[in-house]
Structure 1
């Protein structure tokens, strides 16, 4: 959001989670060494994939080889690329682009330049040709998005209109605009494709939308200033991060009701991005200004460990084989690579300016 994007680098010290083991702090690693294949000790075990990173300030996309961790390409996209998702077949990348001006926390937004609405849209990027195919218009100030189960539709949070916009990928047409509350951000589609969840930061709630006819099925309250949403692979649960009260909320996705809430402890912890392991046993949360990734046991819903990453991790993604975790660290302009088994950072990759989102797609 405009009020929080340009916050400074904050380093977090001490134990970050209540009742969990001590934090693992990996040794510092120069970027030029971290990017070399030798710095990743499990290169041979990682399935082929590409790491795609949106850089909000430099307006481009960084693509890394997931096995060697080498930078493959840096490609201009447009203004403020943020949310990023891949198509089910791994051929296309969808990126939210916004012409709204960046602003540091606390600034009087009346002093900012007017937004460039011509820059708003969803970039459709072909990963094979390495080309931006087109920009789908019809959505204002998009921040995050989700892809429908068959890849034919996009569900986009339109930040300044308080709506979720449904776009047809093939035609670019807007199929629906659903009122979801103030400053929507997180978007996720259930594994069976039947519903989309959209978080509203101002209203501290999640709106449940039926994908068949775009009806609002339910709204329920979660933590303060909800940021991101992730479903468990079996679709029975969903998880929502709450930035302002340092919470992660568990939702029974069969009845769309909150079941449990856990609170992450530690200085400056602000839960942002969230992903769930393929076996559904662990929930990983980027803690923003806390500078860590927290691991939560899905069975007990108790935090079980943290690992320190770069400055203010926002976007988070798992490799297709689940062996690695990636975080986009805005103020430090880099990507942390975490070995999931050891739960420690094994590499740090220099990215563009203010990396925001990250996706890992099989090749």
Structure 2
């Protein structure tokens, strides 16, 4: 297996698994606030959104000391750009911009709807509005909403391609993926899939897009134009996704099986399972 560390947010056990990828051993399981969902690197720490508790947890590295940052509003999505971390607050209908160094709130951006997941590219943030069926663009330097484009029903997650020219959006209720031209901010394609897409992740070289289909236990592999290349059975309720840096392996959080499936991308099959806590969801791979 590849080296590095895989961090897993376990929704139901309210902790974070720390897995050494060199041997697949869970080295630690760190308690955090209730219902952890997403993770992101933040300098010498990790940030973890805790959906039902209104908290973002800051985990210092390497000692894994947990400190809560109280936000309210059901923190869910998380993306870091420069010195700021964007946290979606679905119940509050806004995105909080935190100072990565100290966790202080720099600004709050009203979005309306239900901001769900977030991603960053360059000097812009992108947010899936699950209630408004839209993809939003935010300029963090001015804390303003700059553009909006309609997508499918109940967009849950998104990812920006490595080249920065495309954004993929997983539309859970309509059962499709929107492919967005990032520069023009228009939907160039909508790809129907045989299940409910809840996560999307681009391959490191941009040639593939992985999509978790939660209700059918599969991960779809699409080419950059949206053609379905494979449907890989992975287990019960696939959720969070992370590629290895070389792109050979895809890690899939199985919320229903309490483990992480390891998919050989070339062979298009599961080759290993890794331990996790109860209800693994968000994944973060640190090389």
TM range (shorter): over 0.9
* In structure 2, distance between residues paired with 1:323 and 1:127: 27
* In structure 1, distance between residues paired with 2:238 and 2:86: 24
Following superposition, the deviation at residue 55 of structure 1 comes to 0.6
Three-state SS of the structure 2 residue aligned to 1:289 is helix
Checking the alignment, whether the CA contact within 8 Å between 1:210 and 1:217 is kept in structure 2 is yes
Match for 2:56 among 92, 102, 122? 122
Structure 2 portions without partners, runs of 5+? none
- Residues 1:169 and 2:100 aligned together: yes
Checking the alignment, whether the CA contact within 8 Å between 1:310 and 1:335 is kept in structure 2 is no
Match for 1:140 among 73, 90, 93? 73
Q: Flag as ranges the 4+ runs of structure 1 deviating above 4 A.
A: none
Match for 1:254 among 183, 191, 194? 183
* In structure 2, distance between residues paired with 1:308 and 1:179: 39
* In structure 2, distance between residues paired with 1:350 and 1:82: 17
Checking the alignment, whether the CA contact within 8 Å between 1:310 and 1:334 is kept in structure 2 is no
Following superposition, the deviation at residue 167 of structure 1 comes to 0.8
Checking the alignment, whether the CA contact within 8 Å between 2:97 and 2:140 is kept in structure 1 is no
Q: 1:236 to 1:85 in 2, by over 3 A?
A: same
Partner of 1:105: none
Query: If you compute each CA radius of gyration, which structure gives the higher value, 1 or 2?
Result: 1
Q: Deviations over 1:293-332 (max 9, x none)?
A: 100010x321110111121111111122222111111121
Three-state SS of the structure 1 residue aligned to 2:37 is coil
* In structure 1, distance between residues paired with 2:174 and 2:138: 25
Match for 2:50 among 97, 109, 118? 97
What is the TM-score with the length of structure 2 in the denominator? 0.96
Structure showing the higher strand proportion among its residues:
2
- Residues 1:59 and 2:14 aligned together: yes
Following superposition, the deviation at residue 69 of structure 1 comes to 0.9
Equivalent runs, 1:295-334 vs 2, <5 Å: 295-298=221-224, 300-334=225-259
Q: How many residues align?
A: 287
Match for 2:154 among 222, 225, 235? 225
What is the TM-score with the length of structure 1 in the denominator? 0.76
* In structure 1, distance between residues paired with 2:76 and 2:165: 26
Checking the alignment, whether the CA contact within 8 Å between 1:316 and 1:326 is kept in structure 2 is yes
RCO greater where, 1 or 2, for CA within 8 Å and sep 6 or more?
1
Checking the alignment, whether the CA contact within 8 Å between 1:139 and 1:165 is kept in structure 2 is no
Superposition RMSD in Å = 1.4
Structure 1 portions without partners, runs of 5+? 1-42, 101-118
